Amino acid sequence: MKKPLIIGGIISVIIAVIALSALNLDSTDTVMENTSPDSFVSPLSFSNLITSDTPLKGDPLAPITLIEYGDFQCPNCGRFARDTSPQIEASYVESGQVSIAFKHFPVVGPDSKPAAMASQCANDQGMFWEFHDELYNNQGHENSGWANRDNLKQIASDMGLDQQSFDSCLDSNKYQSLVEKDLSLAKQIKFTGTPSFLVLKNDGSKPQALTGAYPFATFQKIFEDNLN
């Protein structure tokens, strides 16, 4: 009696594996609906997403803006930062075709929000991307304490940031509301993991949403399709 049940169990596991993979695929590539009326500012418009506090690399008037929603504790965000992002910068950002912006999606653990706020404090001193690279190049295990407030202050100090100003910014939680706003929007977009991306065209067309640490070839395809 038990044998059919066990064989059925094995088949169920295989089906579950395939279904799980398919579920992951479904969430990776969608075109967002911009449902707001034209008279209002769309939540996914460039002007709404890219504010004076949003770290932006490249020409702000570039035809395409790639917005990353990342967490400094997320290993796949680290992979994107170390491996894929430099290739995008060399091929598209330096030529003015694409700009890259960073927004916060701190979900991995308790140290994710302080790390996000600390990066904005570094941004106050014009050092966001240097701080971003420093964190991703020296990333520790998730929630192991490497991104706690004391370590973040030490990293900032080692990088030569103004210590008093940085510490005051971090201790006062100056950017807590900005980080919460980014997180809220990421949830509203229904991103299902980090890193996630919005590919925004400056012609106002629907942005494309992606979830996953895609390799350069994927972004290359998306950029070429949009540029052409």
Partner 1 sequence: MLSSFKLVFQNKFYIFLASIIFTSFWIMFSVLGELLFFSPVFIFYLPPDAIFVFILSNIISALMGIVLSMNVYILKNTMVKMSKSSFVGSTVGMAAGGCASCSTVGFVLLTSFGAVGVAASTFLSVYQIPLLIGSIGLLLWSYNSIHNKLTKSCKLKGNGT
Binding site for partner 1 (CB under 8 A): 3, 6-7, 10, 13-14, 17-18, 20-21, 23-25, 27-29, 71, 73-79, 82-83, 107-110, 141-144, 192-195, 210-215, 217-218, 221-222
Residue among 128 and 214 whose Cβ is closer to partner 1:
214
Peptide bond into 195 cis (omega under 30): yes
Strand order in the sheet with 196-201: 29-31, 208-211, 196-201, 64-70, 98-104, 56-57
To partner 1, the closest distance from the beta carbon of 142 in angstroms equals 5
To partner 1, the closest distance from the beta carbon of 70 in angstroms equals 9
Are 134 and 152 a contacting pair, CB within 8 Å? Answer: no
Residue among 43 and 109 whose Cβ is closer to partner 1:
109
- Cα separation, 213 vs 81, in Å, equals 9
Phi, psi of 151 (to 5 degrees): -65, -35
Are 211 and 196 a contacting pair, CB within 8 Å? Answer: yes
To partner 1, the closest distance from the beta carbon of 138 in angstroms equals 14
Both tokens of residue 2? Answer: 């038990």
Residue among 7 and 227 whose Cβ is closer to partner 1:
7
Residue among 105 and 166 whose Cβ is closer to partner 1:
105
Both tokens of residue 176? Answer: 């807590």
To partner 1, the closest distance from the beta carbon of 125 in angstroms equals 28
